Amino acid sequence: MKDGESPPRALEDVRVLDISNFLAAPLCSMFLADFGADVIKVEQPGRGDEVRYWGNDKDGVGLYYKVVNRGKRSITLDLRTTLGVEAVRRLVRDVDILVENYRPGTLERWGLGPDVLMAENPRLIVVRVTGFGQTGPNSRRPGFGTLAEAYAGYAHISGHADGPPLLPAFGLADSTTGLMAAYLAMVALHEQRRSGRGQVVDLAIYETLLTLLGPQVVDFDQLGIVQQRNGSRLPFTAPRNTYRTRDGRWFSMAGSAQSTFERICAALEVPALVEDSRFRDNRARLKNAAALDVELQNAIGRFDFSTLMERFVRLEAPIAPVNDVRQVVEDEHVVARENIVALEDEELGGPLRMQNIVGKLSRTPGRIRATGPRLGAHNREILVGMLGYGEERLVEAGLDPGSAEEQERAVAGEVSP
């Protein structure tokens, strides 16, 4: 690698066609793009992906779209038309992975089912993300992350014992599904490079969250236990909660190992708790978690936050502040790890900060190519330049062929700062 050149990225030879909308499936292709995959995103003409209208906007530009669809190229096609179907069939001939999230039967009805697509490209991996999967009695029902968070059992255990079940304040099921979909796409790609054959990945949004919900299934199977809401406590280790200091700051603390619990007690100057029969080991502490929290909160209430942090860090006792987003982006460790990155955005006319690549590879690190593009920003480059469609046919189909200047801006926007 020459001086000044960016290091290669792990997935630079992977090509992805993303015909999905909303959150879970687009997050899948986002994770792939982060590590170098060339992702072409197909959006509905005129309106685009619904995420463009989710959450907050600046000057009419949806901000979350800029994050979820970073590093992708945007084209517009109506998949219900002859041109849309034809263009997708031509595009899949030269890609490794197609990502979609339409309800079961929709692509088949449009003439774009996996059998059709894989006839064009037998090596194609088709990642299908749906609410309830392609099979089973619920498969035809509409499904979203919010439903999955209830259906998989998350909401039932979230909240306080005397309160209602709580849904997460962000797209938890969608986000975990996006991660799992990217992982399964890589599993299938690894196998494809051995066998030369593609396959279908069938992933329901509730399934990843169900697996991540801890020991609930095995505990129910073997002991008949149905986990209930218990605030921030865990059913398998204690202490674990949020606590408030004398000056009103909140922090989280957990003592999963005996040595950890002993360091917590040393930091709080309550050594007697270690000898208390109610708290002598983790199983005893679980039975007396409420009483333990009272003792710990009483001890914690004697300290200001800065003093408590200094004591815990010095004694290597686990502690973390309950940060809001302002505190996160200003945190010296987050800054040092480069967990937040600023990228120039042509549409917004300035820098845009967002979460950086997750994880660091020593030789082929990820890099965000660009923020989410304008709708159809790459129509001329791909539909005209790559597929050879004439401008008149695109206009007749209600598509914007784009201008040469727009193409230049789109290409320039793919240079990471």
pLDDT of residue 7: 86
320-321 and 250-254: which strand pairing? antiparallel
Provide the 3-class DSSP secondary structure of residue 200.
strand
Crossing angle of helices 305-314 and 258-267, rounded to 10°: 140
CA–CA gap between residue 99 and residue 300 (Å, rounded)? 50
DSSP state of 248: S
- Cα–chain-centroid distance for residue 72? 16
Contact 123, 196 (CB under 8 A): yes
Amino acid at 411: V
Running along the chain, 417 residues long, what does each successive block of 10 average in pLDDT? 76 98 97 98 96 96 98 97 97 98 97 98 98 96 95 97 96 98 98 98 98 95 97 94 97 93 97 96 96 97 97 95 97 97 96 97 96 97 96 93 68 47
DSSP state of 380: I
Structure tokens that stand for 326 in this block = 């302002």
Of 84, 60, 102, nearest in space to 398 by CA: 84
| Residue positions annotated with a catalytic role | 174
CA–CA gap between residue 371 and residue 417 (Å, rounded)? 11
Burial 318-337 (b: 16+ CB within 10 A, else e): bbebeeeeeeeeeeeebeee
pLDDT of residue 416: 36
pLDDT of residue 269: 96
Provide the 3-class DSSP secondary structure of residue 12.
coil
- Asked if omega into 321 is within 30° of 0 (cis), the reply is no
Against a cut of 0.85, is the pTM above it? yes
Provide the 3-class DSSP secondary structure of residue 56.
coil
- Residues with Cβ within 8 Å of residue 412, at least 6 apart in sequence: 346
156 exposure class (CB count in 10 Å sphere: 0-12, 13-18, 19+): middle
CA–CA gap between residue 204 and residue 260 (Å, rounded)? 38
Contact 206, 132 (CB under 8 A): yes
pLDDT of residue 406: 63
Q: 147 phi and psi, to 5 degrees?
A: -65, -40
Structure tokens that stand for 384 in this block = 């005209």
Virtual CA dihedral for 388, 392, 395, 397, nearest 10 degrees? Answer: -70
240 exposure class (CB count in 10 Å sphere: 0-12, 13-18, 19+): buried
Cα angle at 221 between 217 and 223, to 5 degrees? 110
Cα angle at 265 between 263 and 268, to 5 degrees? 110
Structure tokens that stand for 356 in this block = 């950086």
CA–CA gap between residue 174 and residue 181 (Å, rounded)? 10
Identify the bridge partners of residue 73 per DSSP, sorted by sequence position. Answer: 40
Of 403, 340, 354, 397, nearest in space to 374 by CA: 403
